[in-house]
Amino acid sequence: VLNGETFHFQTEVSRLMNIVINSLYKTPEIFLRELISNGSDALDKIRFQSLTDPSALESNPNLNVTIAVHKDQRVITITDTGVGMTKEELQKNLGTIAKSGTSEFIETMSGDTADMDLIGKFGVGFYSVFLVADKVRVTSKSNRDDQYIWESTAVDDFTIAKDPAGNTLGRGTQIAIHLKEGQDQYLDDSRIQGLVTKYSEFINFPIYLRRTKTKTVEAEVEPAKEPEAKEEESEDSEEAAVEEEKVEEVKEKAPPVTVTYQEDDLMNSNKPIWIREPKSVTPEEYDAFYSVLTKETGSKPMAYSHFKAEGDVEFKGIMYIPAKAPKDLFQRVDGVLSNVKLYVKRVFITDDSAEFLPRWLSFLKVVVDAEDAPLNVSRETVQSNKSIKSIHKHLVKKMFDLLKTLSQDEEKYAGFIKEFGTSLKLGALEDKSNVKKISRLLRYRTSEHEKYTSLEDYVSRMKKGQKDIFYFTGANIEEIKQSPFVESLLARGYEVLYMDDPVDEIVLNQLANFEGKKFQNVGKSDLNLGDENAAVTERELETKFASLLDWLHATLLNDVEKVRISKRLTTSPAALVANDFGWTANMERLMDGQAK
């Protein structure tokens, strides 16, 4: 037992641990992904610091994660040479929850209705280690402090003490996991290798598995050179020295001997997928990288584009459209979207800038690696950086290219519209410079088609003499179909666009027209059908029915503005219409809903 100061976990941490342990007990293996990802984050941080302060790396120039299995003690260690933690950081980072939104998250997860999907997406973090461990010891060395040990059995407190062994790590963090009863599978090298391949293949730092190997050394020949373990392991080299002595001895006695030695095997390719040639990357690799990027195990993207830009700013990147829209897509009020990861020359810079994409594209997941953005770019200066503006422009263009390609596959594109149609509409409202392009990507249900139709296709099917694009709004397609307005247009052979999304009407008001064709709500009063050559004019009919009109007007005085003769209806005797400048029934419903 560690002799040090004892601290209590913040209540939220204890609750989070309970949620994690109770809901993820079927997939305890994710602990490895979480710890490797923390190691990788810590490595990103020290590398980022070294951009402005090269001496930051002097405490250990190697940047990697090493996993070692100690079968006899039933312990796995995961060691990174990242930024490390000071005593204070150990206490804060591994004892409290600082991340915004976490408390709310715990609140929603605390019922019996734990949503596995949500937990997976949230990234359960460090505490998932207690899925497999009954004791965890974190030893950490930051450049700014001595080496400290954090230890806990997860009940409700943890201990922190200065490491009596001294600053042995140089820099970084070592997590020693004492496995629970029944979790011995993680002592198996091939199991660890399998998990690294599954979850962490695209981590941009080498991940090693330290293996203990044996080999037979012939007495006659010089002992083969020890495969290079990492240099800084003083213990290792001592052992090696002992080994060599032994070999010297046996030389005289002649029989071959078996020696044990340690070797670090690289478990991941750690070459960023985005800098590879697209032709050399398999679809499976793109999918696997996506699930690493999103930290969503096993999730697959709907579509992706691997691109390269040259010219004013040179960069490579991959852009993904997720298969599903997140539930909170339009509720992220804090503006932190974290959907674009910026690297400069392979060094991770930031993922918390909103400068790379317009808001309506926040559903995309993007990695960008720039060649010539100034290297001293900091998270703060990203905003005013000229290259960033240029990257922004390129990304939007790449996205339009990707959607154009996607839209050629009707079925796939219908899936996109279902998940992200609202994002497109938001774009039509917010992104003035791209409204035209966006309008070509919109799809609607119509009276002629069960499937989605583009505005282009609608226009190509317009009747001879038809000037406007006809649409009608309603809460759902059934309601729209039953409208007398729609019925009368259909009877005359016109196609009507069905708008059942509350935002549709606002979007059409914004667009005003498509390729010169006005949008005409068939529920409005001045409907121009373009076939005004009928024998009897409305004026003649108005004279004929003047007394009926007067009577109706007097009767409905308080409810309507005007009573008019119309030739629009076929089977329904009368209909209530909005005037040209007034709100339609649908719009009123929408505004009503907003007021509440």
String marking each residue 112-151 x if it binds ligand ADP according to CB under 6 A: -----------x-xx-------------------------
Binding residues for ATP: 34, 38, 80, 85, 93, 99-101, 173, 379
User: Which of the choices ligand ADP, Mg ion, none does residue 80 contact, using the CB cut-off of 5 to 8 A by kind?
Assistant: ligand ADP
CB of 46: closest distance to ligand ADP in angstroms? 9
- Min dist CB 350 to ligand ADP, Å, is 15
By C-beta, is 125 or 301 nearer to Mg ion? Answer: 125
Residue 327 zone, left/alpha/beta (φ > 0; ψ -120 to 50; rest): alpha
Would you count residue 63 as binding ligand ADP (CB under 6 A)?
Answer: no
Q: Phi, psi at residue 126, to the nearest 5°?
A: -50, -40
- Quick one: 160 or 175, whose CB is closer to Mg ion? 175
Q: What's the CA gap between 131 and 21, in Å, rounded?
A: 6
> Where in 15-54 is the site for ligand ADP (CB under 6 A)?
34, 38-39, 41-42
Applying CB under 6 A, among 13, 29, 63, 80 the residue interacting with ligand ADP is 80
Q: How far is the CB of 146 from ligand ADP (least distance, A)?
A: 16
**Which residues are at the interface with Mg ion (CB under 5 A)?**
38, 125
Of the candidates 447, 445, 443, the one whose C-alpha atom is nearest the C-alpha of residue 482 is: 447
Residue 346 backbone zone (phi > 0: left; psi -120 to 50: alpha; other: beta): left
Q: Cβ of residue 37: shortest distance to Mg ion, in angstroms? A: 5
Give DSSP secondary structure letters for 454-504.
Answer: EHHHHHHTPPTT--SEEEEE-SSHHHHHT-HHHHHHHHTT---EEE-STTH
Among 472, 484, 478, CA closest to 572: 484
Q: Of the two residues 307 and 348, which places its CB atom closer to Mg ion in the complex?
A: 348
Q: Is 93 in the site for ligand ADP (CB under 6 A)?
A: yes
Please enumerate in sequence order all residues whose Cβ is within 8 A of that of 73, keeping only pairs 6 or more positions apart, or say none.
178
Let me know: does 59 contact 83? Beta carbons within 8 Å. no
Residue nearest ligand ADP (C-beta atom): 125
DSSP string covering 392-459, please? Answer: HHHHHHHHHHHHHHHTTSHHHHHHHHHHHHHHHHHHHHH-GGGHHHHHHH-EEEESS-SS-EEHHHHH
Residue type for position 572: S
- What is the sign of the dihedral through the CA atoms of 108, 112, 116 and 120? positive
CB of 143 to ligand ADP, least distance (A): 12
- Only one of the segments 82-90, 233-241, 284-292, 440-448 lies at the binding site for ligand ADP (rule: CB under 6 A); that segment is 82-90
Length of the chain: 596
Q: Residue 466: CB partners within 8 Å, gap ≥ 6?
A: 494, 529, 530
Q: Which does 39 bind (CB under 5 to 8 A by kind): Mg ion, ligand ADP, none?
A: ligand ADP
Residue 572 and residue 16: Cα distance in Å, rounded? Answer: 61
Sheet holding 301-309, edge to edge: 301-309, 315-322, 365-370, 340-344, 347-350
Work out how close the CB of 128 gets to Mg ion at its nearest, in angstroms, rounded to a whole number.
9
CB of 469 to ligand ADP, least distance (A): 48
| 85 makes contact with ligand ADP (CB under 6 A) | yes
CB-count exposure of residue 430 (10 Å: 0-12, 13-18, 19+): middle
Q: Report what 223 binds from Mg ion, ligand ADP, none; CB cut-off 5-8 Å by kind.
A: none
First and final CA of the chain: distance in angstroms?
58
Q: Which window, 79-87, 183-191, 255-263, 284-292, contacts ligand ADP (CB under 6 A)?
A: 79-87
Q: Minimum CB separation from ligand ADP for residue 101, in Å?
A: 11
Classified as helix, coil or strand, 158 is strand
Q: CB-side exposure of 9: number of CA atoms within 13 Å?
A: 20
Partner in contact with 106, chosen from ligand ADP, Mg ion, none, beta carbon below 5 to 8 Å by kind: none
444 binds, among Mg ion, ligand ADP, none (CB under 5 to 8 A by kind): none
Return the residues of window 495-524 that contact ligand ADP according to CB under 6 A.
none
Nearer to ligand ADP, 12 or 115 (CB): 12
Told to check if 158 binds ligand ADP by CB under 6 A, we report no
Q: Which CB sits closer to ligand ADP, 103 or 525?
A: 103
Quick one: what does residue 85 bind among ligand ADP, Mg ion, none, with the CB cut-off 5 to 8 Å set by partner type? ligand ADP
Nearest-Å Rg of the Cα atoms of the chain is: 33
What is the smallest separation between the CB atom of 295 and Mg ion, expressed in angstroms? 9
Annotated binding site: 34, 38, 80, 85, 93, 99-101, 173, 379
Binding site for ligand ADP (CB under 6 A): 34, 38-39, 41-42, 80, 82-83, 85, 93-94, 123, 125-126, 173
